[in-house]
Amino acid sequence: MVGKYDMPLIKKEEIEGIKKFIPFEKRNLHNGKNAGIHFYIYDGAFKQIINNPEKYRDELKKFNAVISPDFSICYDMPITRQIYSTYMNRVMGAYYQNNGIKVIPNVRWGDSRSYEFCFEGLEKEGTYAIGSYGQIKRNSNRYYFEKGIEFFKRLNPKKVYVYGAMPESIFGNYRNEANLIPIEPYTSKIHRGAI
């Protein structure tokens, strides 16, 4: 446990060989080769993993890596809920990492109050994932998402997987600081007929 909030530590790891990411609920449709698992889905679609993480351990091992679960954090949520969501992200990520699964830490923030804890439990200069999907269309969400790009200053990432759009107006200043890798949302793939 590390930091003021006693967050479990997700250690940085070298992550290679991922050509695509599969949503957790679609994991059975893929053999795992050259793929990772993400949790950029409705929280209720993966609540079973909280109650019984060992049930999915062997299943997730066939994938190159797993992005730690993306428990919702919004700027207008009570701060205790934001802390809990961050804590559960680290608990699940550390659990799977300690059981032989490569884990890419998901970093999620709300408003500036969340900066006190949302970067805890993560080593600097690693590989991370963030989600812009659903965060940048509405002006209020976009404002807080852009402010949270503080993430680059705090963690100094080497590689960042971005689930969703990467507009130049938000990410342009960081393209030279880290290797930014887009993850196309599953719904976008469906809309363009790729699935």
pLDDT at 53: 93
The CATH number fitting domain 20-191, selected from 3.20.20, 3.30.70, 3.40.50, 1.20.58: 3.20.20
Residue appearing with tokens 């998901």? 106
Determine the straight-line distance between the first and last CA of the chain, rounded to whole angstroms.
41
Distance CA 2, CA 131 (A): 24
pTM tops 0.85, yes or no: yes
Q: What is the pLDDT of residues 62-100, one digit of tens each?
A: 999 999 999 988 889 999 999 999 999 999 999 999 999
Distance CA 82, CA 76 (A): 9
Distance CA 124, CA 82 (A): 21
Kindly tell me the burial class for residue 188, based on how many C-beta atoms sit within 10 Å of its own C-beta (0-12, 13-18, 19 or more). middle
